[in-house]
A and B are shown apart, each in its own frame.
Chain A
Amino acid sequence: MALVEINALSFSYGRAPVLKDLSFSIEQDSTLGIVGESGSGKSTLIRVLCGLMPVQSGIARYDGRDISEWLDREPRGFRRRNQIVFQSPASSLDPRMRVGQSLAEPTKSLERRTPSDEELGQWLTVVGLGPEALQRYPHQLSGGQLQRVAIARALTVNPTMLYADEPTSALDVSIQAQVLNLLIEIRRRLGLTMVIVSHDLAVVGRVCEQVIVMRNGEIVESGPTASVLRYPEHEYTKSLVNAARAVSLGASHDAADAII
């Protein structure tokens, strides 16, 4: 049985439909990439899946149970299992809180206990930072370090699903690869199921086994990443792949091959 099952899911902000009749599933321990142009509804989709937006119509199940039912009956259990990392490292931590305070928040909120500094320090080590960062304020850290802290914060409650909304696109190119490697490593070490939203096909190509291509709130193509990117069927996917090729061809041929 799939960990997440979506059937005929639709969503709108007010009148405008943003997600239209989506159906797909996410297997346990897999990594799913969601690509698509700006405004296609990627962020909205994962917000619904991790319980930040309501399921308005259609079916969305997590572990065999409706997400709305999870949120009604066992909200903390659901949130503990489903965590999310956002795009902008600069705004993902409260500037008035030390890193240690921010890291302690999910445990305080969801497990009703205050985690020790050792415990939090260990999570920092997992994401490649030293425990001394606990005492820092966000403005004392770099973008890459902040994103590592945000990832650590999501991990502190031992989630089974980790959603990441454009986790690397606000970072310097040199840092992007490091954070991506970190996500790959964490996934392997902790056995997470991951969903990564990205407009960068290279990111999805490196990390994700499965991919969904979205446009205007609809899924235009989906399947194993390798075949979708190598043999795109839909015109829109072809144009995305060609655009990505063209960009990296400008850089070098090797890079173009590396993508796909």
Chain B
Amino acid sequence: MAARRSRSPQLIVGAALVALLVLAGLLSLVWTPYDPAALDVTNKMAPPWTDGHLLGTDQLGRDVVAQLMAGALNSLLVAVLSTAGAVVLGVALGLTAAGGGRFWSDTLTRATDVAIALPGILVALVLATFFGPSNTTAIVAIVVWFVPGAARIVIGPARQVLAREFVEAAMAYGRSRSFVLFRHVLPNLGPLIIVMASMMFAGAILTEAALSYLGLGAQRPTPSWGRLLFESQSVIGQAPSLVVFPGVCIMLAVLGFNLLGDGLRSRLDPRHAREVVV
């Protein structure tokens, strides 16, 4: 136990990758090697290490490092907002389902089952048709897609907490159902929600990349990794690195949040650490 607590390689590698992503994204706010939107017409599709372009330039001569950094910020922005939205709504829904009467509880459980079966990309396509492609569309699509899953994850454990005797004791001293849900059940689900949020974050980054690849997410001049991937696939023969770099970024970011989630899980999961939860 003590050994696992202090040194979990997953946790360390995951945290390092996440930190790198966050640093790169935040740094892009104040500094990038070149303006990500600036065209360098004499240096189109320059290979890495050309004229101070560390990873080269794209087909319009824009600096790749600068665009990847700005893309990291965009990924983080979309992932933070959509994960926060999905967690807040999903947890609220899950708690309500677990704590409501049997009819309400069954109805919500069924509804989440149906919603989980819907393909998320379809939801995003419909939304994009209505509202036009943008980061907001991507965020709304991800939230709508993730909420039922979040609710589903929370319902079971919430019911378990509700079955414990301190809940009945709280009723016996006059606490309301909603007080119990938010002041007793929610804190006891804290570790579970943290792990879930971390996993969802990975999913949100991947989904944002997929949506912007399909042209449903951020539009130029906002750089996004999925967009970079899409734009460079036509020149994959001349400049394969233009496809490889954004791909690697997406992969490392998703890997980082998944590892972080796994690491946190083994530290916080009730089955591993009984003293932390329930």
**Which A residues lie at the B interface, using CB under 8 A?**
50-52, 75-76, 79, 82-84, 86-88, 91-96, 102, 105-106, 109-110, 139, 150, 153, 157
Chain A residues with Cβ under 8 A from B278's Cβ?
95
Of B30-38, B56-64, B82-90, B161-169, the one contacting chain A is: B161-169
B185 CB, min distance to chain A CBs, angstroms: 10
Chain B residues with Cβ under 8 A from A87's Cβ?
165
A94-B188, A95-B188, A96-B188 as given contacts; A79 in contact with B166, CB under 8 Å: no
A124 to B164, CA, bound (A): 23
Chain A residues with Cβ under 8 A from B166's Cβ?
91-94, 102
Please tell me if B119 contacts chain A, counting CB pairs below 8 Å: no
Of B139-147, B170-178, B256-264, the one contacting chain A is: B170-178
B94 CB, min distance to chain A CBs, angstroms: 18
Please tell me if B194 contacts chain A, counting CB pairs below 8 Å: no
Would you call A83 and B174 a contact (CB within 8 A)? no
A91-B164, A94-B188, A95-B188 as given contacts; A50 in contact with B169, CB under 8 Å: no
Say whether chain A's binding surface is mostly helix, strand, loop, or mixed: mixed
A91-B166, A96-B187 as given contacts; A105 in contact with B275, CB under 8 Å: no
| In the complex, residue of chain B having the shortest beta-carbon distance to the beta carbon of A105 | B173
Would you call B174 and A75 a contact (CB within 8 A)? yes
Chain B residues with Cβ under 8 A from A75's Cβ?
174
Would you call B173 and A110 a contact (CB within 8 A)? yes
A87 to B165, CA, bound (A): 8
A139 to B278, CA, bound (A): 10
Chain B residues with Cβ under 8 A from A150's Cβ?
169
Would you call A79 and B277 a contact (CB within 8 A)? no
| In the complex, residue of chain B having the shortest beta-carbon distance to the beta carbon of A138 | B166
Please tell me if B159 contacts chain A, counting CB pairs below 8 Å: no
Would you call A83 and B173 a contact (CB within 8 A)? yes
Chain A residues with Cβ under 8 A from B168's Cβ?
52, 84, 86
Chain A residues with Cβ under 8 A from B164's Cβ?
91
Would you call B172 and A50 a contact (CB within 8 A)? yes
Chain B residues with Cβ under 8 A from A157's Cβ?
173
| In the complex, residue of chain B having the shortest beta-carbon distance to the beta carbon of A75 | B174
Chain A residues with Cβ under 8 A from B44's Cβ?
none
Nearest first, the 3 closest Cβ-Cβ pairs linking A and B are A106-B173, A86-B165, A91-B164
Among B164, B165, B171, B173, residue most surrounded by chain A Cβ atoms (within 10 Å): B173
Would you call B173 and A95 a contact (CB within 8 A)? no
A76 to B275, CA, bound (A): 34
Chain A residues with Cβ under 8 A from B275's Cβ?
139
Chain A residues with Cβ under 8 A from B165's Cβ?
86-88, 91-92
Across chains A and B, the number of contacting residue pairs, with CB separation under 8 Å, is 58
Instruction: Sample 12 A-B pairs with CB under 8 A, ordered by A number.
Output: A76-B174, A79-B173, A82-B172, A84-B168, A86-B169, A92-B165, A94-B187, A96-B187, A96-B188, A106-B174, A110-B173, A150-B169
Chain A residues with Cβ under 8 A from B175's Cβ?
105, 109
Chain B residues with Cβ under 8 A from A109's Cβ?
170, 173-175
Beta-carbon contacts under 8 Å, B122-171 to A: 164-166, 168-171
| In the complex, residue of chain B having the shortest beta-carbon distance to the beta carbon of A102 | B166
A86-B169, A92-B165 as given contacts; A110 in contact with B174, CB under 8 Å: yes
| In the complex, residue of chain A having the shortest beta-carbon distance to the beta carbon of B172 | A84
A117 to B155, CA, bound (A): 36
Chain B residues with Cβ under 8 A from A105's Cβ?
170, 173, 175
Chain A residues with Cβ under 8 A from B173's Cβ?
79, 83, 105-106, 109-110, 153, 157
Chain A residues with Cβ under 8 A from B184's Cβ?
94, 96
Chain B residues with Cβ under 8 A from A94's Cβ?
166, 184, 187-188
- Contact indicator per residue, chain B 260-278, by CB within 8 Å of chain A (1) or not (0): 0000000000000011011
| Contact residue among A82, A84, A95 (Cβ-Cβ distance under 8 Å from B277) | A95
B38 CB, min distance to chain A CBs, angstroms: 52
A68 to B166, CA, bound (A): 23
Chain B residues with Cβ under 8 A from A50's Cβ?
172
A93 to B187, CA, bound (A): 13
B270 CB, min distance to chain A CBs, angstroms: 10
Chain B residues with Cβ under 8 A from A52's Cβ?
168, 171-172
Would you call A79 and B169 a contact (CB within 8 A)? no
Chain B residues with Cβ under 8 A from A95's Cβ?
188, 277-278
Chain A residues with Cβ under 8 A from B190's Cβ?
96
B105 CB, min distance to chain A CBs, angstroms: 15
